[in-house]
Amino acid sequence: MYKNEEKSIMSCLSKIDKGNIIELVWNKKIDIFCGIDTFYESDNGLDIDEKEYEEFYACVLKVIKIKHIEQNFVKEIKLKDKHLEENELFEINYHNAPDVIKNKNGLVIWKKPDIITKNDSYR
């Protein structure tokens, strides 16, 4: 069963053609341009018998260009274990989703549900 947050972001990402470049922004600490590589099922790394075990969908993206990045924030939001650089692949899922996803024209096509739209500076 999908969680609403998972369904929201995966639905948006699945509608984007693989060749298109999108922009992802996290808390104004990471702003990168990416391309979609693939989708797959993932889990939280716990044993299937554990109560907190969870499966969810994930999207692998390739970094095309870095507009701005605070590398210490990369590990904090679990994008990678270390630094994130151009041409690298990384996974996003509803646990580490960006605050905003923009299309190639810079228009916001998805926002985290808890992002307030008042005085929105992502546009």
Q: What is the pLDDT of residues 76-123, one digit of tens each?
A: 888 888 889 999 999 999 999 999 999 999 999 999 987 655 445 544
SS3 57: strand
Per-residue confidence (pLDDT) for residue 80, from 0 to 100: 86
**Structural domain contains residue 76:** yes
Give the integer Cα–Cα distance in Å for 31 and 23: 7
Closest CA to 34 of 82, 100, 115, 119: 100
56-89 tens-digit pLDDT: 999 999 999 999 999 999 988 888 888 899 999 9
Give the integer Cα–Cα distance in Å for 22 and 46: 31
Indicate the number of domains in the chain: 1
Could you tell me the residue range of the domain that residue 85 belongs to?
4-111
**Scanning the structure block, which residue is given the tokens 């500076």?**
121
**Structural domain contains residue 23:** yes
**Structural domain contains residue 26:** yes
Flag whether pLDDT at 32 surpasses 70.
Answer: yes
Give the integer Cα–Cα distance in Å for 113 and 9: 10
**Structural domain contains residue 117:** no
